[in-house]
Amino acid sequence: MAATMPWRGHVATAMELLHDSIPRVSLAAAAAALYARASSSLLRPGLPRLVALLPLFPFLAAVPLAFTSSAIIRTIFAFFLAWLCTFKLALLVVGRGPLDPALPVLPFLFTALLPVKLARPSKAAKKPVSSLVSCAVKVALIAAVVQLYRFNARLHLYARLALYGVHTYCFLDLLLPAIAAAAGALGMQAEPQFDRPYLASSLRDFWGRRWNIMVSAILRPSVYDPVRTRSGSPAAAVLATFVVSGLMHEVIVYYLSLQWRSDGVMAAFFLLHGVCCVLEGWCARRWAAKGWPAPPRAVATVLVGLFVTATSFWLFFPALLKNGVEEKVLEEWAAVSAFFQDAVERIPRYAQRSS
């Protein structure tokens, strides 16, 4: 388990990965994005762009597999490239979505390769102090959770799943704003990726406006809008969107474990939430038509939180942690923890040498 890992060997492996695979994959992906920008600027939307961009789709699906030693980094790059970038390029083929060949090079690269949506400057931007406090709290929570992983074998299953849930949210809500902050440092303002999902008052509020907003921003023009236009049914469009999201999460699970042994549990999680979103909307309309008052927001928020937590424990996390993935991920986070502990321990030594 994590407590018995050979720390320094894993720290060395992590450093080798940072100096080797990440730069190479990033350069290759950037070259692909620049090719997409150049070819799209010369070709009209439709078949000409499709022919030009078609080779990029298998490339983006394959390039995360370059990370053979880190399941976490492989999965992050799969999310960025094999999912989001692929969908953005598919929208670019038909002249829709966030990518535009008229964008300057740097904004185009950020938009294509990273989960960011560029926005116009807004007076409503989050205050830097509150952002720093929020980041500090999430860093502290992650550090505490990683330390608790040492006792993982002795924890009840639900306690472990609760730790994974807190860790997942804090990690994503640190990683994605950090990318947005990098864009801001280069003069680009990005829209937020999360909006306090723990305050969602409905499932539609949770999935559509609060959790991983970038995914919603991509699925809406690529799945929801076309299905609604063709079928005329918002319910069919919602279900189709959740089905596609479930299938893509199944793909992400493959990148995490490198084992295609899906039993459909992850897809079932999203299908269940899609059905519940449709039913929730139908009930809300009937409720309003009868003139009944809406339930108190606090009650609705608690019910949404309980439903998301219960279904995540039942379907989402078990799908992520099978096929030996749990042990692998714990080992990697233990190595990350050891890396930072080692760095902190070196600070006094460097200070003494410099003095």
Q: pLDDT by residue (tens digit) across 112-126? A: 999 887 776 554 445
Last residue of a domain, one of 80, 115, 150: 115
> Percent helix, strand, coil in the chain (nearest 5)?
80, 0, 20
Q: Residue 291: pLDDT band by 50, 70, 90 thresholds?
A: confident
292 phi/psi in degrees, rounded to 5: -80, 145
> Is pLDDT of 33 > 90?
yes
Q: Does residue 103 share a domain with residue 29? A: yes
What total of structural domains would you count in the chain? Answer: 3
Q: Does residue 79 share a domain with residue 172? A: no
Q: Does residue 242 share a domain with residue 315? A: yes
pLDDT given at position 207:
94
Q: Does residue 177 share a domain with residue 277? A: no
Residue 317: alpha-carbon gap to chain centroid: 15
- Residue 140 belongs to domain spanning: 120-192
In a domain, 9, yes or no: yes
Q: Does residue 134 share a domain with residue 74? A: no
Residue 207: alpha-carbon gap to chain centroid: 13
Q: Does residue 162 share a domain with residue 91? A: no
In a domain, 347, yes or no: no
Q: Residue 31: pLDDT band by 50, 70, 90 thresholds?
A: very high
> Is pLDDT of 342 > 70?
no
Q: Does residue 149 share a domain with residue 35? A: no
Beta pairing, strands 189-190 & 118-119: antiparallel
Q: Does residue 221 share a domain with residue 183? A: no
**Tell me: the pLDDT tens digits for 162-207?**
888 888 888 888 887 788 778 777 777 777 788 889 999 999 999 9
Q: Residue 277: pLDDT band by 50, 70, 90 thresholds?
A: very high
pLDDT given at position 126:
52
pLDDT given at position 111:
92
Q: Within 10 Å of residue 54's Cβ, how many Cβ atoms?
A: 11
| 8 Å CB contact between 30 and 62 | no
Which parts of the chain are beta strand (E)? 118-119, 189-190
In a domain, 186, yes or no: yes
Q: Residue 352: pLDDT band by 50, 70, 90 thresholds?
A: low
Last residue of a domain, one of 71, 96, 115: 115
Q: Does residue 294 share a domain with residue 245? A: yes
Angle at 283 between CA 282 and CA 288, to 5 degrees: 105
Q: Residue 3: pLDDT band by 50, 70, 90 thresholds?
A: very low
Q: Does residue 206 share a domain with residue 230? A: yes
Q: Residue 306: pLDDT band by 50, 70, 90 thresholds?
A: very high
Q: Does residue 304 share a domain with residue 228? A: yes
Q: Residue 11: pLDDT band by 50, 70, 90 thresholds?
A: very low
pLDDT given at position 29:
95
Q: Does residue 293 share a domain with residue 262? A: yes
For a pLDDT cut of 70, what percent of the chain falls above it? 85
In a domain, 337, yes or no: no
Which parts of 143-289 are beta strand (E)? 189-190
Check residues 131 and 154 and name the one with the higher pLDDT. 154
Q: Residue 9: pLDDT band by 50, 70, 90 thresholds?
A: very low
Each as own residue / partner, the long-range contacts of residues 3-8 (CB below 8 Å, 24 or more positions apart, any chain) are 3/150, 3/334, 5/331, 5/334, 5/335, 5/338, 7/334, 7/335, 7/338, 7/342, 8/338, 8/342
